[in-house]
Each structure stands twice: as structure tokens, then as C-alpha cells.
Structure 1
Amino acid sequence: MGIERYKPAVAKEVLLFMAGLVWELVGVVLVFMAVSWLGSMPGHGCYPYAAAGIALALVVHHFGFLRIVDKNLERILPVEDRRCLFGFIPWKSYLIIAIMVTMGIMLRHSSIPRQYLAILYLGIGLALALSGLRYLRICVSEIARTRVS
């Protein structure tokens, strides 16, 4: 048995749910930050920045994050046994996440005007939230499939 008994092993449905939940939560946090920055702008001046952020989100979602999600799904879906709870993304991706978080902190503390940062935060946040929905949709269909069989 050894150390293996302490590994937080879960079914693939839990991995799918965790992936979707994490992507959704991070996406929502980034969107809320962007909206708060845009909301502090006077009048209707925030609309062009919001539109740019939404356009960026659609591009990043379609051409970037969906490919990552699909690659993760190809890795998770064939799993038959229980896997480590933190295995919902590849281990190498944790380094990328740390770099992205560090860059986000540096950007927030930079002299870049908030309305321009809002475009980036809205774009990435909304793209993460949209892409996270795919994990959750597949999770629900996997649960339904296992209940039927």
C-alpha cells in the first residue's frame, strides 16, 4: 500500500467537474475585475472596451482554450481507474498557471490604464468561463452515461 493510500484518488467524472469548476471560477473572477474597472468609467465610455474584450474572448475561446480543453478531455475520458484529484490538468500546466498568475499580478500593479487591462481580463476571463462549460457539459454526459449502463 504505502504512500498510494494517501493519494486523493477520484473518478474521471470528478476530474471533469474539478476542471470545469476551476476554469469557471477563475474566469468569473477575471470578468468581475474587468467589469469593476469598466464600471468606474464615466458615461458610456466603457462600451468599446467591453466590446473589444468580448471579441477577444471569442477568439481566445475558439482558437486557444478549446484546443487545450479538448486535449485534456482526450487525456481524461479514457481513464477507467481512479486518478489523483489534481490530475485534471497535466502537471506541466501548473507551471504555466503560476507564470500566468504572476503576469496578472504584475499587470495589475503596472502603469497600464485599467480600461486596457479590462480588455485583456474580460477576454481571458470570458474565454475561460466559456471553455469551462465544455468540461461541465461532458461531465454531465459522462454521469448520465454511467447511470444508464
Structure 2
Amino acid sequence: MTLSHLKPTVPKCWLFAASGVMWSAVGIMMCTTAIGWLADGGMGRGMAFSAAGLILAVLSVRWGFGRIAQKNIRRLRRLPDRGCFFAFQAWKGYLIILAMIALGITLRHSPIPKHFLAVAYTAIGGALFVGSFNYYRHLSRLIRTSFRRRDQRHTLPE
């Protein structure tokens, strides 16, 4: 028995779904954390910091996270029709995730005021959430294409 039998193999569409769900979940978690921090600081300050975070999120999607998602989608498209479930993220990406988790823990326990951290959390969380729709859009295309192919195979000749 080889180790390849232990690898959780799934259809490629599951890799796109896993990527989208992961990006959405982390984005929502980060934005929720930021909202909690901003709620403690009063409404006026919270709105200003929220607006700053949202503006940075839009810019981050446009010039950062959107490009990362597109690069990952191109990588996933090159994979075979079935692959290891954990391939939804490149191995280098797992190292970046660990570094970002460590940075987040460090920042949360730093003396930096939470309302300033909320801007960064909103920017990154919002960018991840919006960037996740790149994966959902591609997943939708895969599913539509799959149904079209299936329907073409099952059509009766006239």
C-alpha cells in the first residue's frame, strides 16, 4: 500500500469551492473582529475607521487579492480533473497563511490601539471576502460547462 491511497482525492470543482469558502470565511471572521473593536470606540470614530478599511479593501482587491485569486485559479485549472483536496491552496500559500496567522496574533496582543488594527482587519477581510467571488464565478462556469457536456451526451438524435 502506498501513501497515495491515503490522499483525499476530489473532483476539481471542490478545489474551487474550498478556496472560495476559505477566503469568504476568513474575510468574514476578520471583518467581524474589526466591527467588534470599532463598536467599543464609539459611533463617530467607528464610521471613519470603517470607511478607511473599506476603501483599502477595494484597493486591495483591485491590486492585490484579486490578482492572487486569479493566479490561484489559473494554477487550479492546470490540475487534473481529480486531485488532492489540499491542493486548493499552493504549498507556498500554506506558509504564507501560517505567517499571517502569527502576524495577526502578534498584532492583536500588541499595544497598537484596536481601532487602528480594525482598519487593517477590515481591509484584508473585505478583500478576502470580495476576492472569494472569483472562485465562485469560476466554480459556476465549471458546473455549467459540466451540465452542458452531460446534456449533449444524453441528447437523443432527431
State the TM-score, normalizing by the size of structure 2: 0.91
Partner residue, 1:6: 6
CA displacement 1:92-115 (0-9 Å, x = unmatched) = 111111000000000000000010
Q: Does 1:78 align with 2:78?
A: yes
Identity within the alignment, %: 37
Partner residue, 1:142: 142
Shift, 1:43, TM fit? 3.4
Mapped to 2, the partners of 1:122 and 1:99 lie a distance apart of 19
Partner residue, 2:153: none
Partner residue, 2:107: 107
Q: Which amino acid aligns with 1:84?
A: C
Partner residue, 2:96: 96
Q: Which amino acid aligns with 2:136?
A: L
Q: Which amino acid aligns with 2:45?
A: G
State the TM-score, normalizing by the size of structure 1: 0.96
Q: Which amino acid aligns with 1:130?
A: V
CA displacement 1:34-75 (0-9 Å, x = unmatched) = 011111122322111011000110111110011111111111
Partner residue, 1:130: 130
Mapped to 2, the partners of 1:43 and 1:97 lie a distance apart of 32
- Give aligned pairs, total: 149
Shift, 1:79, TM fit? 2.8
Partner residue, 2:31: 31
Gap regions ≥5 residues in structure 2: 150-158
SS at match of 1:46: helix
Partner residue, 1:47: 47
SS at match of 1:123: helix
Mapped to 2, the partners of 1:21 and 1:145 lie a distance apart of 21
Mapped to 2, the partners of 1:77 and 1:132 lie a distance apart of 16
SS at match of 1:41: coil
Q: Which amino acid aligns with 2:41?
A: M
